[in-house]
Amino acid sequence: MKMPASDIPALFDRTTLAARRARVQDEALFLHRAAVDEVQDRLSMVKRGFTAPAVVTPFPQVWDAILLGATIVADDEVLALEPGAHDLVVHAMTLHLANDPVGQLIQCRRALRPDGLLLAVCLGGETLHELRAVLGQAEVEVTGGLSPRIAPMGEIRDLGALLQRAGLALPVADNVALTAEYRDLRHLMRDLRAMAETNVLSSRLKHPTRRAVFDRASALYAQNYATSDGKLRATFDLICLTGWSPDESQPKPLRPGAAQARLAEALGTNETKLSD
């Protein structure tokens, strides 16, 4: 029996997320500024101008001077975007915290004019894999159990498939791996709090973690992921998604068998038939 949508528990506690974002420190938003760089780089390769952009972001101060005249909206469950009003929508660094990521992309697609562009940047599956590994091992060793501490994040192939599910054309997904270095585990955890990227899973533990877990995790981190000068590496996997609102002017794939030339000829190689 299928559960009603209203009865399905939310993956993320959005109330807690909002409270933590209210305490964010602007200088800690380096991932959001990296997303700005990625968006600008991709826009520079698109041979057209955009006159009605919109940005979905919890931190408008990061984008105020980037896309002049852009409509800035919060990443609420229901986006305050007017249907068909925009030729560009940027979904900036919040898709990995959405309870309904496909729904977010569908809302963005509906806000686009025909042949409008969606650019979404979010954190992907390799993000904080070092921290995930050491916290998991430390908790098992110290307590004999395992609790959810870092949200599951989509892999690039899965996130790219969301573009098609949302009805976007010409989907492209790629990623950029960023590595930060920290003095110790406490330094990393403090930075995550300052950027509001700490654990807001609805199923997270609601009581303090034993100090012994963090002590053991710190030792494991230094043992397995330290640089030559003793710093701790932390990976942030930025996934960049690109899709277009469908339009008749866009190129269409050829039907099977409709090609006018053989691939072997284009590559300058000999074609060999496979044996039965």
- 158-181: pLDDT as tens digits: 999 999 999 999 999 999 999 999
The CA-based angle 56-59-61, given to 5 degrees, is 110
- With a CB cutoff of 8 Å and minimum separation 6, the contacts of 193 are 20, 23
pLDDT higher than threshold 90 for residue 62: yes
Q: What single string gives the DSSP state of each residue in 251-275?
A: --PPPTT--SS-HHHHHT----PPP
C-alpha to C-alpha distance for 120 and 51, rounded to whole angstroms: 18
Is the predicted pLDDT of residue 7 greater than 80, yes or no? Answer: no
Phi, psi of 72 (to 5 degrees): -105, 125
Cα-based distances in Å from 174 to 8, 66, 182: 31, 22, 26
pLDDT at res. 245:
95
pLDDT at 3: 46
Report the DSSP beta bridge partners of residue 201.
12
- pTM (two decimals): 0.85
Distance CA 149, CA 138 (A): 12
Q: What tens digit of pLDDT does each residue of 143-153 get?
A: 998 888 888 89
pLDDT at position 257 over 80 = no
* CB contact at 8 A, 121 and 91: yes
Is 33 a residue whose pLDDT tops 70?
A: yes
Q: 69-86 pLDDT, tens per residue?
A: 999 999 999 999 999 999
